[in-house]
Amino acid sequence: MDEVFKALADGSRRALLDSLNAHNGQTLRELCAGLEMARQSVSKHLAVLEAANLVTTVRRGREKLHYLNAEPINALAERWINRYHQARVDALADLKKALEGEPMSKPEFVYTTYIATTPEKLWQALTEPAFTRRYWGPTFETDWKPGSTMAWVEPEFTIADPEQVVLEAEPYTRLSYRWHTFTKEHAETHGLGEEFRAKAAAEPRSKVTFTLEQQGALVKLTVVHDDFEPDSIVLSAVSGGWPQLLSSLKTLLETGETLPTPEPAASR
């Protein structure tokens, strides 16, 4: 928590966050050019922001792209906003909203959190029904091999489609699959509305990727949800749902309990 306050206290680092809020997924070169800051200075400030988990990075070929990360802002909001008068923390609330909002430049969602668990336990939580039904709701029927189909199973319905496939599965390290089909049963059960369902179903199928990295007693979990078209209605929905879903996953693994069930449209 102290690292987050320290990172936000510097005007140059806030400028970097503002730059990423306006244009997410920038390289170091792009950040330097946009802010007219020396490369060494930007690198040092980014290191502080990454240490505070306010910025996360994703490798794309030879490039390292930088993204805003909402997880520490969520933690600050949960700890402080409900305990003090809202008017005194308007700036923090605005930043939280900005970090959780839809990226303005690249149609994708990136989020990093650190969980006091093991890669093996986290892998179980991402794949095994005993875990997913507790913090998420659905369970997945698949053998978790690349190319295999996966059905999303809920008490009221099952979503099965040939295009719902596992893309990557490296146990305890990396998992990737295509997002589910937006069926009428799904929409009716979760109160999404036919207009949302029709628009979501018309979009290209998106992809979610989980990367697990052991870091001492913690596991760094990075979630990238991408393959969206510009102005995607699905991206807008999942961008609001992933932070709460991943907070519930973290809480389950660290305490054995889960957070209250998220709103249906956001979680799926």
List domains and CATH numbers for the chain: 2-105 (1.10.10.10), 111-267 (3.30.530.20)
Would you state the pLDDT for residue 86? 46
Would you state the pLDDT for residue 125? 97
Give, to the nearest 10 degrees, the angle between helix 233-255 and helix 90-100: 110
Strands, E, within the chain: which ranges?
A: 55-60, 63-68, 109-115, 139-141, 151-154, 157-159, 166-170, 174-178, 207-215, 218-226
Among the listed residues 166, 172, 173, 171, the one whose alpha carbon sits nearest the alpha carbon of residue 142: 166
Q: Which one-letter amino acid corresponds to residue 213?
A: E
Would you state the pLDDT for residue 72? 74
CA distance 160 to 4: 42
- Which pTM value belongs to this model? 0.71
263 φ/ψ angles, rounded to the nearest 5 degrees: -60, 140
Per-residue pLDDT of the chain (268 residues; tens, 9 = 90+): 678 888 888 888 888 888 888 788 889 888 888 777 888 888 999 999 888 888 888 888 888 889 888 777 766 665 555 554 444 444 545 555 555 554 445 668 999 999 999 999 999 999 999 999 999 999 999 999 999 999 999 998 999 999 999 999 999 999 999 999 999 999 998 888 899 999 999 999 999 999 999 999 999 999 999 999 988 999 989 988 898 899 999 999 999 987 765 454 334 4
119 φ/ψ angles, rounded to the nearest 5 degrees: -60, -35
